[in-house]
Chains A and B, each alone.
Chain A
Amino acid sequence: MWVMIGMLTALPSASLFARQKARTVVPKGMVLVGSGVYKALYDNGGKFDGVDVPSFFIDENPVTNAEFLTFVTQNPKWRRSKISPLFAESTYLANWAGDVNLGKLGPNEPVTNVSWFAAKSYAKWKGNRLPTVAEWEYVAGAGTRSARGKDEPGFEKRVLILTNQPTPKPLPDVGQSSPNYWGVRDLHGLVWEWVLNFNSALVTGESRADANLERKLFCGSGVVGASDFTDYAAFMRFAFRGSVNASYSGANLGFRTVRSM
């Protein structure tokens, strides 16, 4: 019954999306995401409704160890013994047995211990790019039956539980969770993921306490005040993005790539 109602309410845009999907060639390993609006967690005092997100392709799963191994094999400057200290901290690929040796890590586990610079470079090598905050959050906000997970009972609670659970060791292989409405897996609960403009969250002065000090440094109107206080998992993601710099790498931070249409 619930499924029926969900299908009926989502019908107009869903059928549009189905038609778009039918005439689009989707790159291997990626899925098509239909256009929509991402309602920013931190909006401009309620003056603006959201960010338009045009249709794009996104990796079904996070990038794996095996995929990243191919990248560093073909691009020696991104091997851990070669990488510039500007682009990665000493934890970069620290869990690997060697420059091009995964050791005990499973090839299908999500790659972690990668810096933003390395993730960006990998994406470029694939002909893709990293997702923007708006794109990532838009995709991650989808439920199992519709693009707006918030409308599905229990969605936010489920995401919060997944976000809060400790990172298992070793990490499970990618692609084991059920896909969301767009067909994307592992957005919540496997690893944190780099986004293209991860450091923009800082500028808006929301996640750092000393707003007065920060505000002196920026022009344009500062953005304070969140639009949605119920989405606690999103607050956690924004706080996390605000806490890292681009050369950081951690044992539970990976990424996936996107491609514009």
Chain B
Amino acid sequence: MLRTLGRTLGSEPLDRCSMRCFIVILTFLLTSCTEPTHEHVETPMVLESDTPLAGEYSIYQVESTWINQTGAEVTLEALAGRIQIVAMTYTSCEMSCPRIVAAMKDIERQAGGKVGLVLISIDPERDSPPTLAAYSEKMGLEESAWNLLTGAPDDILEIAALLGVGYQKMPDGEFAHSNIITILNEEGVIVHQQNGIAVDLTAESVRAVQELLENAK
């Protein structure tokens, strides 16, 4: 039986999900030969908990609700299943934010695969969904790929803490903030961060996204 399964594995390329199923089934079959019947359900679970769960490091574990540029309520979990390029900015920022958006577009274009892009506003007072929609239009951000999110101030701080982004509203209404672009894998785990918008840093992000796209094949 084991040999049959092994041959199946060798002849047909399996994606990661079916690979996991294969291990679970294999464990099930192996234990079914040696263990009493009532253990069947539990054994595959034990194997799963031995390998670190990606979910444990997923930032999608946060329990916050957000509103995007279309006015729709979204949870971060809804971003799962696609590689995401994430930055924290605000729409009235004229200095570094447009450059961050440009760098994100560059990463998407150069990586050459299907990815999602997320801008989380650090200025929820001014960045209402209509403002985000207008910004999206002005910057030419495809609605199918981009999510522009606003939320509660403490939830924004929580994401900032998870992404290592610092920001502070200045008395003149502008924000001091880090220029960090984060690459999340399909499960919401941080796989790469670029700290700054220099071309060579963007190139590293492109490579990180390409690697993820490659792994997903």
Contacts and interface: CB of A to CB of B under 8 A. Distances in A.
Interface centre among A48, A85, A117, A218, by most chain B C-beta atoms within 10 angstroms, is A218
A234 B177 CA distance: 23
Interface stretch (A27-35, A139-147, A193-201): A193-201
B154 A84 contact: no
Most buried by A among B56, B158, B166: B166
B161 A223 contact: no
A187 interface: no
Interface string B155-186: 00110111000111011101111111000000
A220 B61 contact: no
B166 A47 contact: no
B94 to A, nearest CB: 9
Nearest to A246: B161
A218 B174 CA distance: 11
B93 interface: yes
B171 A203 contact: no
B160 A221 contact: no
Given A204-B176, A223-B176, A129 B154 contact: yes
A245 B154 contact: no
A216 interface: yes
Q: Is the interface of B mostly helix, strand, loop or mixed?
A: mixed
A95 interface: no
A160 interface: no
B170 A220 contact: yes
A44 interface: yes
Contacts of B161: 116-117, 199, 245-246
B61 A120 contact: no
B178 A218 contact: yes
Interface in B33-73: 56-59, 61, 63
Given A120-B154, A120-B158, A204-B176, A217 B95 contact: no
Nearest to B167: A203
Given A124-B154, A196-B153, A203-B177, 16 more contacts: A86-B57, A86-B58, A120-B157, A120-B158, A197-B168, A200-B166, A200-B168, A203-B166, A216-B196, A218-B176, A219-B95, A219-B97, A219-B176, A221-B170, A222-B176, A223-B176
Q: Which 5 A-B pairs have the closest CB atoms?
A: A246-B161, A220-B176, A48-B171, A203-B166, A219-B95
